Amino acid sequence: MKIEDVVCTFCGCLCDDLVVEVENNRVCSVENGCTLANEKFMRDHRLKNPIRRDGNGWKAVSYDEAIRETAEILLDADRPLLYGWSGTHGEAQSVGVHLAELIGGVIDNTSTVCHGPSIMAIQEVGHPGCTLGQVKNRADVIVYWGANPIDAHPRHMSRYTTYADGFFIENAFRDRKVIVADVRQTESSAIADEFLKIDRGGDYAALSALRAIVRGKGDLIPSRVAGVTREQLFRVAEICMKAKFGAIFFGLGLTMSPGKYKNIRNAIELTQELNRHTKFTISPMRGHWNVYGSNEVFTWITGYPYAIDFARGIAFYNPGETTSVDILMRGECDACLVVASDPGAHFPRACAEHLARIPTVQIDPHVNATTHLATLQIPVAVTGIDAEGTAYRMDGVPIRARKLFTGSYPNDQEILEKIFARVKEAKRS
Amino acid sequence: MTDLLVKNAYVIDPLSGIRGEIMDIAIRDGKIVEDTGSGAPVIDAGGCLTFPGGIDSHSHVCGTKVNFGRYMSPEDMRAGRTARKGVMRVTSGYSVPTTFGNSYRYSTMGYTTVLEGAMAPLEARHTHEEFTATPHQDMLANTLFDGNWAIMEAVRDKDVKRAAAIVAWTLDAVKGFAIKLTNPGGTEAWGWGKDVHSVRDEVPYFGVTPAEIIETMIRANELLNLPHSVHIHCNNLGVPGNYQTTLDTIDLAPDLNRNRQSLYLTHVQFHSYGGSTWRDISSKSEDIARAVNSRPQVAIDMGQIMFGRTTTMTADGPMEWKLYMLHHNKWSNHDVELETGSGIIPVYYGRKSLVNCVMWAIGLELALLINDPWQCMLATDNPNGAPFVKYPEIIALLMSSRYRDIERSAIDPRTEHYVPLFAIDRELDWYDIAVMTRAAQAKALGIERIGKGHLAEGAEADIAIYPLKPDELDPAADYQQVMAGFAKTRYTIKRGRVVARNGEVVVEGANSTIWSRADVPPEYDLNRDAEFVKKFEQYYTVRMRNYPVQDIYLPRGYFISTEASL
Ligand code: SF4
Ligand SMILES: [Zn+2]
């Protein structure tokens, strides 16, 4: 059976034009997707059933047992952490928040190790952005800063920017200028009209220089800033100011390099400055397909996009204190529920070691690095393959991921609701 | 069968012509009935003021930009947090509370129905997700068409019927309630960093004017026989001298509907400014009120501002940019492809700012100078003018000229030279307030037909009982009590069930979402229109099949069905 307009639940581009062929509850071909999508749909090797650590090995357990044990672990914990969420649908995330509230725990999503600093910058100066279609239809200047879309978001350029023809841009390739700023050459920089090769740690200075030029203070600029020549900085500023519609996209190369949230703040303020001359927008290249959804869901329920601590009964937010990495580093956390992410692969070593010391339950379809730290793993359906639900694209557009067939696995939401019900029941008695 | 009997209620129910009578209200299965069975549980209202449940006809509580207002404002989240308690979940936020925060606070004020003022169709799914998490109010969504490309093309082709077909298709797809025009044409111009500055300005590329968009949409709306009229946020919001644009807009409204207005103008305070700069801004409330008084085909809401901190958020992207240039505080913007825009900035309205004092006066003047309360609804464009928790203070100001005089001594003394407020001695009464906070909204939105905003037999049993005894109170003198009374009901009853009592929410709640579905003849069904489909697939970044909001997002959806006259 061929299914059209399938949503790819891999990266923040959330492409919704895939054509997928399904036979015997298995995806057998994918059209329109990038290599990452093919990987996601075609190489879906799942854990067969819940497993519990047993000495040096694993023992199969039933779903009921696994759910009961998870509830007990959470009830028993003084400082539980519910982490992950970027790889599941909004309905499951929502149950997660209510669970965290119920047990007075901390809930955090993967922004903590990716665009957390971007969020902090936005909380200081705001965020002039737009939906991706606005860029596709209008933008004649595109800037990628600290981002390599060809690698991490392979269809970003063809669907939304560089190669995407739009209403006011009939021939994207000819009518659009592409600027790439990065500390190294990448596949993306290779196709740029201007490549700003910035010294490591020099993003903040380069952004400040551009701001100064746009402000009309160009005479302050020395002959080189962070490895970029004065001439090139002027040229780039000029391209931006002359744009009819410009769009900046930034990635972890800017967010996670020295300066962190200050870099993002500077980039946003450059965008605001450019708006005095023309139309300009800026957007983070969100990585996981529904990390932005976790920010949205957490926000409408708690008021904050990530790192929320319910220990005092109210929702308390203080990145640096209530963020997962910090809680684990301080050795504070005494039980962890990991949902739809892989902290074992992405957290600092000391955090991973702490996770291995405490009861860690992972709800995830696949064996990953976190499996090796976990006490218990509960496999589930994959949203976008055998489960459906809401996802928020990197620009905030909500799309419903399709279910391509009905498989035998329960989905995240069902598992979490059962855990929630057990915890609630235990709290009542 | 669940019965409930409310005894000894001092009822004001304007749509039923009840202007203050002690009576009993019988409820069965969520509806008002003639009589309950014997043994029904009884609530003794003890002669307290009893209204139909409150209806907010223009508020921003759910959806992409509201949530971004929270996302970017941890300082606002901190400013209003409550712990989990009984059935109440944790809440955060003062001017942009979390969904549960909004829901509980409205509920304890006696509000049972709220219309979200601006939903971008492309992001409708988000609004509906938040509606579900706003459990105590029935929700409706104004749907933005101000910069809709297909609509502007229909306007350019002078094809009202096509415009109607686009509206019908969109409302059905996104489960929207009514047509909203926010700065018509201006949000598209903002796609290029520009704006339109009068109803006769041309929208770049599309070559249509705001006036043409407004006129076409009013007619399209009536062709579809939608319950509500076109709901407009005029061009030039917040610009000194903009009252002329507002008068021009009012002039565009024909009288096409016997049951309600043909054009609803929202937050008119922000559109009633004289002068030409921030230095000489003055009140033009008298001109606006005169226009409204002579035209039954328009209705407005106040858009009152109240002093203090709040967050402004609107689909009017260029306006937020102007505000940012003034305040230099943080600024967010979010354009939505082919449809509309939006912006957010936090603001502080100060008693020491002459401009803010003039704005404050204008809102009150509109309510006091418009003769017929059915034409002027109480709202703050929550949270733009003030968070809705300020409504009780506004009611007190409208009911007491003494209170207004006390406020006069606390604001910039120059204010009186720019505004007529202090020369107006009208004081509104309980009936006027009942009209301005529920009955007029029900009529204006066209939802009295589904039992909203009144207590006649068969109506929804949405009831607010306030701890106020009209026989023992003089609102002109006892304005403090009026304020306290409207802030916390003794009982809020939603669909026959007590949901809040003395400021506390007592059940989890299960709301409905109300939307409009106009049936059009097959030749107007855009799903079969090759041209429409082609453009959709070409220019949107979401496939047409993935665009409509699935039924699962409206667990208790309810649509008002109409037959289009096409
Ligand atoms: S770009 Fe991202 S969303 Fe699109 S197909 Fe590739 S992995 Fe999937
Ligand atoms: Zn509004």
Q: What is the spatial distance between Cα B455 and Cα A255, in angstroms, rounded to a whole number?
A: 57
Q: What is the spatial distance between Cα B437 and Cα B426, in angstroms, rounded to a whole number?
A: 18
Ligand 1 atom index nearest CA of A35 = 6
pLDDT at residue number B482: 98
Name which of A7, A128, A159 is nearest B541 (Cβ-Cβ): A159
Name chain B contacts of A123, Cβ cutoff 8 Å: 71-74, 330
End-to-end Cα separation, chain B, in angstroms: 43
Residue to test with chain B: of A397, A403, A427, most B Cβ within 10 A: A397
pLDDT at residue number A429: 83
Name which of A128, A300, A314 is nearest B331 (Cβ-Cβ): A128
For residues B344 and B383, the answer to whether their CB atoms sit within 8 Å is no
Ligand 1 atom index nearest CA of A33 = 5
pLDDT at residue number B1: 61
The two tokens of residue B471 are 């026989």
Residue to test with chain A: of B60, B90, B123, most A Cβ within 10 A: B90
CB contact under 8 A, B541 and A136: yes
Burial of B278 (0-12, 13-18, 19+ CB in 10 A): middle
Partner B, chain A 386-425, Cβ-Cβ below 8 Å = 390, 392, 396-400
CATH architecture of the domain A116-284 equals 3-Layer(aba) Sandwich (3.40)
Name which of A124, A296, A313 is nearest B67 (Cβ-Cβ): A296
Closest CA to ligand 1's atom 1: A155
Q: How many helices (H) and strands (E) does chain A have?
A: 18, 22
Distance from the B103 Cα atom to the nearest Cα atom in chain A, whole angstroms: 12
- Asked whether the bond before B383 is cis by omega within 30 degrees of 0, the reply is yes
Greatest extent of chain B over all pairs of C-alpha atoms, in Å: 69
CB contact under 8 A, A397 and B542: yes
Q: Is the pLDDT of residue A296 over 80?
A: yes
Name which of A119, A129, A302 is nearest B334 (Cβ-Cβ): A129
CATH for A47-114+289-428 is 3.40.50.740
Q: How confident is the model at residue A20 (pLDDT cuts 50, 70, 90)?
A: very high
Name chain A contacts of B331, Cβ cutoff 8 Å: 125-126, 128, 272
CA distances from A291 to A326, A344, B125, B314 (A): 20, 18, 17, 25
Q: Under DSSP, is residue B27 helix (H, G, I), strand (E, B) or coil?
A: strand
Torsion sign over Cα A163, A165, A166, A172: positive
- A366-376 confidence digits (pLDDT tens): 999 999 999 99
Q: What is the spatial distance between Cα B306 and Cα A324, in angstroms, rounded to a whole number?
A: 40
Neighbour-count burial for A116-151, b at 16+ CB within 10 Å, e otherwise: bbbbbbbbebbbbbbbbbbbbbbbbbbbbbbbbbbe
H or E segment and range at residue B181: strand B178-182
Would you say how long chain A is, in residues? 429
For residues B214 and B337, the answer to whether their CB atoms sit within 8 Å is no
pLDDT, one tens digit for every residue, chain B (566 residues): 689 999 999 999 999 999 999 999 999 999 999 999 888 999 999 999 999 999 999 999 999 999 999 999 999 999 999 999 999 999 999 999 999 999 999 999 999 999 999 999 999 999 999 999 999 999 999 999 999 999 999 999 999 999 999 999 999 999 999 999 999 999 999 999 999 999 999 999 999 999 999 999 999 999 999 999 999 999 999 999 999 999 999 999 999 999 999 999 999 999 999 999 999 999 999 999 999 999 999 999 999 999 999 999 999 999 999 999 998 899 999 999 999 999 999 999 999 999 999 999 999 999 999 999 999 999 999 999 999 999 999 999 999 999 999 999 999 999 999 999 999 999 999 999 999 999 999 999 999 999 999 999 999 999 999 999 999 999 999 999 999 999 999 999 999 999 999 999 999 988 999 999 999 999 999 999 999 999 999 999 999 999 999 999 999 999 999 999 99
Q: Residues near ligand 1 with C-beta < 6 Å?
A: A 8, 10-11, 13-15, 33-34, 36-37, 153-155
Write down the pTM of the prediction: 0.98
Neighbouring C-beta atoms of residue A352, cutoff 10 Å: 19
Name chain B contacts of A321, Cβ cutoff 8 Å: none
Closest CA to ligand 1's atom 2: A11
Distance from the A102 Cα atom to the nearest Cα atom in chain B, whole angstroms: 9
Name chain B contacts of A390, Cβ cutoff 8 Å: 125, 129
pLDDT at residue number A108: 98
pLDDT at residue number A426: 97
Rounded to 5 degrees, what are φ and ψ at B28? -140, 130
Distance (Å) from CA A258 to ligand 2 centroid: 41
Distance from the B65 Cα atom to the nearest Cα atom in chain A, whole angstroms: 10
CATH for B53-449 is 3.20.20.140
Residue to test with chain B: of A6, A18, A131, most B Cβ within 10 A: A131
Would you list the domain boundaries of chain A?
47-114+289-428, 116-284
Q: Is the pLDDT of residue A94 over 90?
A: yes
**Hey, which bits of B266-324 come out as E strands?**
273-274, 282-283, 298-301, 308-314
Distance from the A167 Cα atom to the nearest Cα atom in chain B, whole angstroms: 6
Torsion sign over Cα A239, A240, A246, A251: positive
